[in-house]
Amino acid sequence: MSSASLQLVHPIETLRDALYRGDWALALDYGGHRDPVVREYVEVVHAISPTIRVFWSSWCRDSERAASALEPLAGEVLGTRGERRLEVQRQWMILDWLVREWSPVWLALRDDLVSEVASLRDLPPLELHSSEELGGFARDLRDRVWRSSHGVVRGLRGREARQLADDAVRRAALYAAWEAVFGPSRGYLAEPIAHPSHIDTVVLNAVRDVAWDAAMNVAKTTAMACSPVSLHSGPIGATILRLEGSAVELVGRLCEL
């Protein structure tokens, strides 16, 4: 559905609410609700790419700054719904972002990972086929980071560092990116997105090794070394701020398809 075909009572307000509360509207609609306001929400939701909407709403739950950062793109998301192949392409773009843009920013916090950061950034875009070379590189990177950080994040301060690292990667849109590809995992109803059966197991494991293991471990050890531990200052705060900008640019690219 194109944005031109929508005749909304309050376009800006309705679009904003549909992005944040679209699943609520869909739940009522699935239950036979016929309230005109609900129907308007649903009409807007059905004009938006489910991949973009899940990324948007998930990130806004994880970061209080995400909503204002994404606001300039609110008018771009209408009319982004398309064929399944477009959703598949968007999902690959998100995985590519995690590997070649998101993870290197975290890994760059370690001086001994300069060559690995450069290698990730120099990778060609992730494609629809298995890459044994990528898989081997990702496993080696995961193991190297794990060996150097094993036993470092421990005790009461270790628990605080782990929690801060988890909060940091949430604010930097890791969970939003993952849910946009594999579906929401936090207990709310969402329309189905393109099932990621097209993602090769080797590529999937590589993304996990790089983003969830290597980059997350660097975030933990960096948080452990920070004094005081803060999401708003120091290397953690600067990394979050940089990746927020990168995530907004990603959403803009997703809307352009």
Average pLDDT of each block of 10 consecutive residues along the chain (257 residues)? 47 61 58 64 81 89 88 87 89 93 95 92 75 83 84 65 90 94 61 61 88 92 76 87 96 94
pLDDT of residue 71: 85
pLDDT of residue 175: 94
pLDDT of residue 124: 85
Q: Alpha-carbon distance 80 to 90, whole Å?
A: 11
| Planar angle of CA 64, 67, 69, nearest 5 degrees | 100
Indicate the pTM of the whole model: 0.85
pLDDT of residue 163: 87
Structure tokens at 165: 């690292």
Q: Alpha-carbon distance 66 to 51, whole Å?
A: 17
Continuous H helices in the chain: 11-30, 36-45, 50-62, 66-70, 84-97, 103-107, 114-121, 132-149, 155-171, 174-182, 201-207, 216-225, 234-256
Give me the residue label for tokens 């609110």.
74
Instruction: Report whether 53 contacts 87 (CB < 8 A).
Output: no
